[in-house]
Amino acid sequence: MIDLIFAQTLNGLASASSLFLVAGGLSIIFGVTRSVNFAHGSFYMLGADLAFTLVS
């Protein structure tokens, strides 16, 4: 039971860190250029599509 909790905690941290990297990148780009850069979202979706393709 403790192994399952530990594994779920690590999965949650991995997901949160990837979302943090995307959000941090968007915040830095917006703070510097004062314009929204949509390239981050497209790269994020490209990575999700690639991961889905590799898993299935």
Give 42's pLDDT tier (boundaries 50, 70, 90).
confident
Better-scored residue on pLDDT, 26 or 7: 7
Q: Quick check: is 2 in a domain?
A: no
Q: Mean pLDDT throughout 17-27?
A: 88
How many domains are contained in the chain? 1
Give, in order, the Cα–Cα distances in Å from 16 to each of 1, 6, 24, 33, 35.
Answer: 23, 15, 12, 26, 25
Q: Quick check: is 1 in a domain?
A: no
| pTM, 2 dp | 0.58
Contact 5, 13 (CB under 8 A): no
Q: Quick check: is 48 in a domain?
A: yes
Q: Quick check: is 42 in a domain?
A: yes
Q: Is 24 helix (H, G, I), strand (E, B) or coil?
A: helix
Give, in order, the Cα–Cα distances in Å from 22 to each of 14, 19, 26, 41, 44.
Answer: 13, 5, 6, 8, 8
Residue-range definition of the domain harbouring residue 53 = 22-56
Q: Quick check: is 49 in a domain?
A: yes
Q: Quick check: is 56 in a domain?
A: yes
